A = this chain, B = another copy of it.
Amino acid sequence: MTDFFRFLYELIVSPNRSLLWKLPPILGFLPGKSELYVLAFIHKSTAITNDKGQALNNERLEYLGDAVLGSVIGEYLFNKYPEQNEGFLTKMRSKMVNGEALGSLALKMELDKLLENHVTGATSIKHISGDAFEALIGAIYLDKGYRMAKRFILRKMVERYLNLEELEKAETNFKSQLIEWAQQGKKEVCFYTDIEPYDPTRFISYVSIGDRLFGSGTGVSKKEAEQQAALETLKEIKP
């Protein structure tokens, strides 16, 4: 009951009450340490500092939430697919928790409406919302423990928004992701792929965008080498 009365009090007097009002339906429970949840929605671009001059943002919470999310989803997939090997589980998890997927999810959960509105700069609202989702998990973990964080992830994320059958089928195609990115920005992407000079059993692929050389990759097939080169390039252009 303490949590209940403290939260009720904060709903009335806290300077963050507009955020706090929106939390219970999203969380499915009443927050205890509401300052953690407030912090979860402060992106680093707001540049708020505390009285010691330290940056006050959700990056640390995001770091923690990312780890907890990985662990919960890891266990979920481990139990869900008792006959699949570790490679399958790793791939499925990365389809569920990559930045793009979490960003879309956070927008569906309307977390963008809870963000501190000082956000500026080039980072997209989708990306920032995805980070806030992870930070929110970090906040729940610190406030209510692993079990509650797990319940939140399974009920509010996995059961509500994820279609595992679709995800199983989804190919993570880096080459097409890169080409799509280039088309949006009206840039020209080329793949130069050939037999690797020093190891003729393998292929090597280079990616150029405009007249600049980006990632390279090798693999036992042309496709594998190109995927690897595309992935390296994506990492470079979307840090």
Contact = CB atoms under 8 A, between A and B. Distances in A.
Interface stretch (A81-89, A157-165, A179-187): A81-89
A203 interface: no
Contacts of A70: 67, 70-71
Contact of A68 (B71, B90, B142): B71
Contacts of A89: 60, 63
Given A71-B70, A198-B212, A212-B199, A63 B78 contact: yes
A67 B74 contact: yes
A174 interface: no
Contacts of A67: 70-71, 73-75
Given A60-B89, A67-B71, A199-B212, 8 more contacts: A59-B86, A60-B78, A60-B86, A64-B74, A64-B78, A67-B73, A75-B141, A198-B211
A47 interface: no
Contacts of A142: 78
A205 interface: no
B78 A68 contact: no
Interface residues of A, number: 34
A226 interface: no
A214 to B, nearest CB: 10
A132 B198 CA distance: 35
Contacts of A198: 211-213
Task: Pick the 6 closest A-B CB pairs, nearest first.
Answer: A67-B74, A71-B71, A59-B86, A67-B71, A198-B212, A63-B86
B75 A63 contact: no
A163 to B, nearest CB: 22
Contacts of A141: 75
A122 B54 CA distance: 49
B75 A64 contact: yes
Nearest to A215: B216
A175 to B, nearest CB: 20
Interface string A40-64: 0000000000000011000110111
A146 interface: yes
Interface string A202-234: 000000000111001010000000000000000
Interface string A123-155: 000000000000000100110001100000000
